[in-house]
Chain A
Amino acid sequence: MVYGAARALPGTGIQITTNPDTEPFWEAAKEHRLTACQCGNCGHFRMPPTAYCPECQSTEKKWPTLPGTGTLFSYAICTKDPKTGEPYVYVPVVVDLDGAPGTRLVSNLTGIDADDVKIGMKLTVDWNPIEGDWVLPVFRPGA
């Protein structure tokens, strides 16, 4: 199978919403700063951000700036634009985030042929504008 170049899904048409627990993540992304929700009491990381720390039940949160790198944990290869059904090769990835143990982002991978993607690859964050002036973290190969 030869899929060819992996592309991120077009930002036009991608919508997100936020709540008070998640909004700091997305505000940081607007500044091209990758963060994750960290407990202000015990330091445990959790993503997606939620009201309570599952370890100590604290609601205190910190939003440290992460290195913006990670490791590819798993992925799929898809070939149709979900909005239009047109041919479109994209690679949804699950990424273990450096600097925030136990947390993952689910995103797209670009800058590589889909055929060459490997679990364990080092990845670096990129930023894609989406609807509503929000910015979505996506990833490319490299550390």
Chain B
Amino acid sequence: MTWVNQDKCAIVGVGATDYYVRGKSWPRTINDMAGDAILKACADAGISVKQIDGFAYYSTAGAGYLDKFDTASLMETLGIPNVSFSATLTSGGGGCAGAPGLAVAGLMNEDCKYVVTVMALQQLPQHRLGVVFGASAPNAENSFLQPSGLVGPGHLMSVLARRHMHLYGTTRDAFKEIVQATRANTHNRPKAIRKNPLTDEEYWNSPMLADPLCRLDFCLETDGAVAVITTTTERAKDCKQPPALIHAVAHGGSREWGRAFAWMGMPDPDFASSGHEFVANRLWEQTGLTAKDMDVALLYDHFSAMVLMQLEDYGFCKKGEGNDYVLGGNIRYDGPGKKGGGVPVNTHGGNLNECYIIGMTHVVEAVEQVRGTAINQVENAELALATGGPASLPVSGLILRRA
């Protein structure tokens, strides 16, 4: 069944601050950076910030999980006269690709006309995301996890990666290839944090933070802000840029994944997965498309192993075959995948190499690819997939189409 709202809304503006190594954005404040990204997205769209009348957040409107976004403050700060839609996807970074879908809900319900999705991130020394689970106060639920010393998301994810290696013979070589293949896409990106080609030696010498994952398998810890503007395709005609049509979008997931790695109760094979199968199936049902139809895939890469598991969950390859698929060069921007059925992954370098704004850069890259203006443009890119998560549900996925 084709989705009733297919191509009826579009992302028409993107904006971002510079990207800073963790802690280097101070003395900018989080609202300074969020406002900067929103104003740039409005300029990109060719609208006034005063035309914004909707907010569609994710991560429970948490700025880097640590602070909170507040529609009232952003309105007041930026001089937005009225707001008629303000909503957020629950849970964490898993919602980034789904937040424009929330905007579609507001737009199609005629609640609002121009919706902004924004994420800003600023890690202060006392608030590092990398150890967020270890640093949070004990509660009745995390008392069953925190004492194990699995202090951060990467530590938890390493346990999932280990199970995948056990079940399917997945190797660290595949994780290395994911990091190297996506690193190869940042050398020409002015704002990227990590730009040097990654040698085998550097990868193998990278300190193990939680075996089997080393530091280079972990995403960057960065500061910055990214915003996108969504409106109806009808209104998009008056905007400055070609619209990136929202062809399909979904968020959610299955109970087997549920609280995911904040819980560790997932049965096989969900445990050794990205928890994305439910969302992937919904996207394919909404469109009649498959993974093979995507021209580029912007897969949320907080940890390298989770790219491999998403490739399986979305059907770029079969379950358990991610290792060989990746090692076959199929995720390379300039790899055999172009002709061999693979799809370039994270042409912007992703969270592992460019910067980590909790997934928003993947959405921006998807927009630029279907506009035809990406720095690492995939030739004739018509369809771009962006994902959010793996994380506790909901996770999300978004397919943008060239107008």
Which residues of A approach B to under 8 Å, CB–CB? 1, 3, 9, 14-19, 21-22, 26, 47-48, 54, 73-79, 82, 90, 92-94, 102-108, 119, 130, 136
Contact = CB atoms under 8 A, between A and B. Distances in A.
A82 B143 contact: no
B265 A103 contact: yes
Given A18-B140, A92-B155, A79 B208 contact: yes
Contacts of A136: 147
Contacts of B147: 9, 14, 16, 107-108, 130, 136
A103 B213 CA distance: 26
Given A76-B159, A76-B162, A77-B211, A82 B140 contact: no
B151 interface: yes
| CB-based closest 10 A-B pairs | A16-B143, A77-B211, A19-B140, A48-B144, A74-B163, A92-B148, A76-B158, A76-B210, A82-B151, A119-B166
B140 A106 contact: no
Contacts of B209: 78
Nearest to B210: A76
B149 A78 contact: yes
13 contacts: A21-B140, A22-B144, A48-B263, A73-B163, A92-B150, A92-B159, A102-B265, A102-B267, A106-B145, A106-B150, A107-B148, A108-B148, A119-B163
Given A76-B155, A90-B149, A102-B267, A18 B143 contact: yes
B124 interface: no
A94 B143 CA distance: 14
Given A9-B147, A76-B155, A92-B149, A17 B138 contact: yes
B358 interface: no
Contacts of A54: 255
A1 B211 contact: yes
A3 B264 CA distance: 25
B202 interface: no
B89 interface: no
Given A74-B271, A82-B149, A130-B147, A17 B264 contact: no
Contacts of A82: 131, 134, 149, 151
Chain A interface, >50% SS class: loop
B160 interface: yes
B159 A74 contact: yes
Contact of A106 (B210, B212, B213, B264): B264
Contacts of A77: 208, 210-211
B139 interface: yes
B76 interface: no
Contacts of A130: 147
B197 to A, nearest CB: 25
Interface string B209-240: 11111000000000000000000000000000
Nearest to A119: B166
Contacts of B201: none
Nearest to A23: B140
Given A16-B146, A47-B144, A119-B162, 19 more contacts: A16-B138, A17-B139, A22-B140, A26-B143, A48-B143, A74-B163, A74-B166, A76-B211, A76-B212, A78-B149, A78-B210, A82-B134, A92-B148, A93-B148, A102-B265, A106-B150, A106-B264, A119-B166, A136-B147
Interface in B229-258: 255
Interface string B112-145: 0000000000000000000100100011110111
Contacts of B208: 1, 77, 79
Contact of A76 (B131, B139, B150, B255): B150
A138 to B, nearest CB: 9
A48 B210 contact: no
Nearest to A15: B138
Nearest to A95: B264
B149 A9 contact: yes
Contacts of A119: 162-163, 166
B143 A22 contact: yes
A117 to B, nearest CB: 10
A111 B271 CA distance: 27
